[in-house]
A and B are shown apart, each in its own frame.
Chain A
Amino acid sequence: MSPPAASATVAVTGLNATDNPGPGVGVIRALRHVADDGTGPFGGAPFTGRIVGLAYDALEPGVYARDLVDDVYLVPYPSQGIEALRERLWEIHAETPLDAVIPTLDAELPAFIALAPELAERGIATFLPAEGQLALRSKVRLSELGTGHDLPVPRSRAVSTAQELYELDEEELPFPLWVKGAFYGAERARNVHEAVAAFHRVVAKWGLPVILQEEVVGEEYDVVAVGDGAGGLVGAVPMKKTLLTDKGKGWAGVVVGDPTLVELAGRFMAATDWRGPCEVECVRDEHGQYRLLEINPRFPAWCYLSAGAGQNLPAAVLRLALGETVAPMRDLLPGTMFVRISLDQLTSIADLQALAGSGALHRAPSSEAP
């Protein structure tokens, strides 16, 4: 029988809280969030369990957030294969029994999804999409998803050779367009020459296939949402970025109340029976219509905003993973903002030594945890 989510031991990945941060710190802060009135996200109760950070590198900044993370373990990079991850997770579980794991990085999701049944057998809950659902919203298949389910996606096409760019029908896909990797990367191309150059750069970095996508000009809006796995929308918080870094990452943003964005997230859930968190990236074009650019299959780095906006979505995912019932959340606080900050954490070289040397760092036991 699963423990209550409020007192669970939860592993979270994505602690690389750099200038291009992973979502892990945001997820943890949401789990630990206490509202101004003193209530927590677990039926009013705050989180009193343990957070176990799973890091790929001993210098991932989230590792050193002693008020957020109780234990840290290094885990193998996804490139080392599912076997290495499986073995390491069983080692960790033997030492620090886990009740749930929330993976937050694109590259590790396939492995965690594949391991989900075995994790469940060992009492480690997850709330993740199925492998087929993951593929359905991929950049390669987004156009197909849009056509099949009346979702407003830009025109796009997957290519595997540079020659296909020379043969492009500009009526079908006009310039300028975006040249995107299947998982990461995007470059704008104003003509076929730029597109070919971008194609080779994207292939060199991210491999094939490469996706060509119509450019949609307008303001970007993103939605963090959770699907219940049965076509239903657990909750959705739309956000508009108000400050960008030089890498185009959101450094500040504000919750907006346009119900069309929530409805769009709901249509995606209904079309895919999505299970778990996701980020729906949209652009509002010059005609005021939203176009769905991408679906990221995990929490975004800004997901902590949901906790302040009336829908604590990371807490909802943890509760759903552990078999609790979560009623659909629709209350929303437009005007809730996030403003990211860089700050220096003070720690001891002993912490780095512990993690780098033995692959684990333990802080106070749960009875003494903050």
Chain B
Amino acid sequence: MPPDSASSQASGLPISPVAGDALHRLRDLALSESGFVFDPFSGATFSVNGTGKAVLEALRDGVAPEAIPELLGERFAPAGGAATHAAPDLSRDVADFIAQLRRLELLPAPEPA
């Protein structure tokens, strides 16, 4: 009989069975609309803002880390191209965030060059 996840679904925090594979830690994260994150593998919880949530969702959709700054720029840039001026900061911030995910073992380490 499959586990009853009705209560977790009702709270907006879908929690799926854990694959247990370090490569899939990100996929197994339970991410709510409000930015609450639960890692069912380790039991750790985090909070992310809207931008962080967008990054997590992009990574889970298979977007390559290096493509995320551009994606965020398109998604969040106001009319007028202000994102262009913020691009270096954006790339650095995304890189910092991804480094955090790797330190938390939510993303595998990058392949050696």
- A-binding residues in B (CB < 8 A): 1-8, 13, 15, 17-18, 20, 28, 30, 38, 40-43, 105
Known: A257-B41, A258-B20. 5 other contacts (CB 8 A): A35-B4, A258-B41, A258-B42, A259-B20, A334-B43
Contact of B18 among A240, A254, A259, A288 (CB under 8 A): A259
Q: Which 3 A-B pairs have the closest CB atoms?
A: A257-B18, A334-B40, A240-B43
Interface centre among B28, B43, B105 (most CB of A within 10 A): B43
**How far, in whole Å, are A219 and B104 apart by their CA atoms in the complex?**
13
For window 201-240 of A, CB contacts with B under 8 Å fall at 219, 221, 239-240
Contact of B5 among A35, A242, A333 (CB under 8 A): A333
Interface centre among B1, B7, B40 (most CB of A within 10 A): B40
**8 sample A-B contacts, Cβ–Cβ < 8 Å, listed by A number:** A36-B4, A36-B7, A257-B41, A260-B20, A310-B3, A334-B15, A334-B40, A334-B41
Contact of A254 among B4, B17, B43 (CB under 8 A): B43
Residue of B nearest to A44 (CB): B1
A331 interface residue (CB < 8 Å to B): yes
A82 interface residue (CB < 8 Å to B): no
Contact of A335 among B1, B2, B15 (CB under 8 A): B15
**How far, in whole Å, are A289 and B30 apart by their CA atoms in the complex?**
23
Q: Is the interface of B mostly helix, strand, loop or mixed?
A: loop
**How far, in whole Å, are A184 and B42 apart by their CA atoms in the complex?**
28
B4 A257 Cβ-Cβ under 8 A = no
B30 A335 Cβ-Cβ under 8 A = yes
Given A257-B17, A258-B20 in contact, is the A331-B42 Cβ separation under 8 Å? no
- CB neighbours of B2 from chain A (8 A): 331
Q: How many A-B residue pairs have CB under 8 A?
A: 59
Contact of B1 among A242, A331, A332 (CB under 8 A): A331
A37 interface residue (CB < 8 Å to B): yes
A334 B18 Cβ-Cβ under 8 A = yes
A256 interface residue (CB < 8 Å to B): yes
Residue of A nearest to B105 (CB): A288
A332 B7 Cβ-Cβ under 8 A = no
Residue of B nearest to A255 (CB): B43
- CB neighbours of B8 from chain A (8 A): 333, 335
Shortest beta-carbon distance from B13 to chain A in Å: 7
Shortest beta-carbon distance from B67 to chain A in Å: 28
**How far, in whole Å, are A256 and B38 apart by their CA atoms in the complex?**
10
Shortest beta-carbon distance from A7 to chain B in Å: 23
- CB neighbours of B5 from chain A (8 A): 333
B42 A256 Cβ-Cβ under 8 A = yes
B105 A256 Cβ-Cβ under 8 A = no
Residue of A nearest to B8 (CB): A335
- CB neighbours of B40 from chain A (8 A): 256-257, 334-335
Residue of B nearest to A221 (CB): B43
Interface centre among A255, A257, A284 (most CB of B within 10 A): A257
**How far, in whole Å, are A281 and B20 apart by their CA atoms in the complex?**
20
**How far, in whole Å, are A310 and B8 apart by their CA atoms in the complex?**
13
Residue of B nearest to A309 (CB): B3
Residue of A nearest to B18 (CB): A257
- CB neighbours of A258 from chain B (8 A): 18, 20, 41-42
